[in-house]
Chain A
Amino acid sequence: MRSSRWERLSRSQRENLNGQLLTGPTLLLLALVVLLPFVLVVIFGFSDTRLIDIPRLSPSTIEWTFENIADAWRSDAFWGALWTTVIYATLTTLGSIGVGMALALAMRRPFRGRGIVRALLLVPYVLPVIAAAMIWRTMLNPQYGIVNAIGMEYLGWQSPIGFLSTTSTDVAGLPVPVSLLVVVAFEIWKSFPLAFLFVTARLQNVPGGIEEAAALDGASRWQNLRHIILPQLRGVVLLLMLLRFIWSFQNFNDVYLLTEGAGGTQVMAIKVYTELVTRSDIGSAAAYGLLMSLILCVLLAGYVLLSRRKETL
Chain B
Amino acid sequence: MSSAMRPSRPVNVLRWTLITVALVCAVGPVLYGVLLSLRPYSAVLLEPLDVVPGLSEIDLSSYVTAMKDESAGGFGLGRFVVNSLGVALATVVVSIVACIFGAYAVARLRYRGRRFTSGIILAVYLFPGIVLAVPKFVILSRLGLTRSLVGLLVIYVAATVPVALYMMRNYFLALPESVEEAALLDGCSLPTMLRKVVLPIALPGVVATAIYVFMIAWNEYFYALLFLVQDRSRWTAPLGLAQLTDFQVPVTVLLAGSIAVTVPVIVIFFLAQRYIVTGLTSGADK
Q: Determine if B61 is an interface residue (Cβ-Cβ < 8 Å).
A: no
Query: CA separation between A149 and B45, bound complex, in Å?
Result: 11
**Total A residues in contact with B, Cβ cutoff 8 Å:** 92
Bound Cα distance from A29 to B161, whole angstroms: 8
| A130 interfacial by beta-carbon distance below 8 Å | yes
Report the Cα distance A117→B220, complex, angstroms: 28
Q: Cβ of A253 and Cβ of B226 under 8 Å apart? A: no
The B contact surface, by secondary structure, is helix
Number of A-B contacts (CB under 8 A): 262
Complex contacts, B27 vs chain A, CB 8 Å: 120, 123
Least CB separation from A137: chain B residue: B245
Tell me whether A123 and B131 are in contact in the complex, defined as CB-CB below 8 angstroms, given that A40-B138, A106-B19, A277-B226 are known contacts: no
Contact B124 A34 (CB under 8 A): yes
B interface with A by C-beta (< 8 Å): 1-2, 4-5, 7-8, 11, 15, 18-19, 22-23, 25-27, 29-30, 32-33, 36, 44-45, 48-49, 51, 98-99, 101-106, 109-114, 117, 120-121, 124, 126-139, 141-142, 157-158, 161-162, 165, 190, 215, 218-222, 226, 237-238, 241-242, 245, 251, 254-255, 257-259, 261-262, 265-266, 269
A143 beta carbon closer than 8 Å to chain B: yes
A239-277: CB near B (< 8 Å → 1, else 0) gives 000000010011011001100000000001100110011
| New A-B contacts (4) at CB < 8 Å, excluding given A128-B218, A130-B219, A146-B32 | A25-B102, A102-B18, A272-B133, A273-B226
A residues less than 8 Å from B112 (CB atoms):
16, 19-20
Residue on B with the closest CB to A289? B131
What are 30 contact pairs spanning A and B, CB under 8 A? A18-B190, A19-B112, A19-B114, A23-B105, A23-B113, A25-B98, A26-B102, A33-B157, A33-B158, A40-B139, A41-B135, A44-B138, A106-B18, A120-B23, A124-B26, A126-B215, A128-B218, A128-B258, A130-B242, A132-B29, A134-B241, A135-B33, A138-B33, A146-B49, A146-B51, A153-B49, A246-B126, A250-B129, A272-B130, A272-B133
Q: Known interface pairs A33-B158, A40-B135, A44-B134. Does A146 touch B48 (Cβ–Cβ under 8 Å)?
A: yes
Q: Which of A140-158 contact B (CB under 8 A)?
A: 141, 143-146, 148-150, 153
Using A18-B109, A36-B139, A282-B134 as known contacts, say yes or no to A121 and B23 having CB atoms under 8 A apart: yes
Contact A135-B162, Cβ < 8 Å, known A27-B117, A57-B138, A289-B133: no
For the complex formed, measure the closest distance between the CB of A251 and the CB atoms of chain B, giving whole angstroms: 8
Q: B108 to chain A: closest CB distance in Å?
A: 8
Known contacts A123-B27, A289-B134; is-contact A129 B32 (Cβ 8 Å): no
List the B residue with the shortest CB-CB distance to A6.
B189
Q: Does A207 contact B (CB under 8 A)?
A: no
